[in-house]
């Protein structure tokens, strides 16, 4: 009985050992699988660390480029603002100059109108002056005739006193003398 009991116990122990051996094998396999997975995870982590290092370098470069780009944008915005201000000033100056030019054109038109008016007045006065000059010439000739009339009368009287008459020839000679 004791042997049977010991045999039973041995059998139970064997079964337990077989079960535990199987369990141990499964655990060993799981451990081996876990180790492989761990190795794979460590390898993946290593690759990831390498990629992270590369990305950090790239990120650092990108941050540097971003900073430079922001600085350039700021500079360009300042230049744009300055240029916009200058353009606005130039636009105001151009508008002012355009108004000045328009005013000068208007003044020039007004002066042209005044000039035309003065020309027509001058022409009218020239015509009037020429008329006056002609009239003066006529008056001078009339004045000379009037001035010489008494002389002719005196000479005619003298000739009439001597001869008692006056010929056409003598009258023509008197007229020529007075004209010279």
The backbone torsions φ and ψ at residue 177, rounded to the nearest 5 degrees and listed phi first, read -65, -45
Q: In this model, does residue 58 exceed pLDDT 80?
A: yes
pTM, whole model, 2 decimals? 0.41
pLDDT tens figures, 92-146: 999 999 999 999 999 999 999 999 999 999 999 999 999 999 998 888 877 777 6
What's the gap between Cα 160 and its chain centre? Answer: 101
- pLDDT confidence of residue 25: 81
Q: In this model, does residue 68 exceed pLDDT 80?
A: yes
Q: In this model, does residue 148 exceed pLDDT 70?
A: no
Domain of 102, in residue numbers: 2-179
pLDDT tens figures, 69-82: 999 999 999 999 99
- Cβ contact 137:167 at 8 Å: no
Q: How many domains does the chain have?
A: 1
- Cβ contact 154:177 at 8 Å: no
Q: Which of 14-18, 49-53, 72-76, 133-137 shows the lowest mean pLDDT across its residues?
A: 14-18
């Amino acid at each position: 009985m004791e042997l049977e009991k010991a045999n039973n116990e041995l059998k139970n122990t064997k079964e337990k050992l077989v079960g535990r051996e199987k369990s141990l094998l499964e655990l060993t396999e799981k451990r081996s699988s876990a180790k492989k997975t761990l190795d794979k995870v460590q390898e993946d982590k290593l690759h990831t660390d390498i990629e992270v290092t590369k990305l950090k370098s790239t990120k650092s470069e990108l941050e540097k480029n971003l900073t430079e780009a922001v600085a350039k944008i700021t500079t360009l915005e300042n230049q744009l603002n300055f240029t916009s201000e200058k353009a606005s000033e130039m636009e105001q100056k151009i508008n002012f100059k355009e108004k000045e030019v328009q005013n000068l054109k208007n003044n020039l038109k007004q002066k042209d109108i005044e000039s035309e008016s003065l020309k027509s007045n001058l022409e009218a006065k020239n015509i009037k002056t020429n008329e006056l000059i002609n009239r003066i010439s006529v008056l001078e000739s009339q004045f000379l005739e009037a001035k010489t009339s008494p002389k002719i009368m005196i000479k005619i009287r003298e000739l009439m006193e001597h001869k008692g008459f006056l010929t056409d020839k003598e009258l023509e000679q008197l007229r020529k003398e007075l004209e010279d």
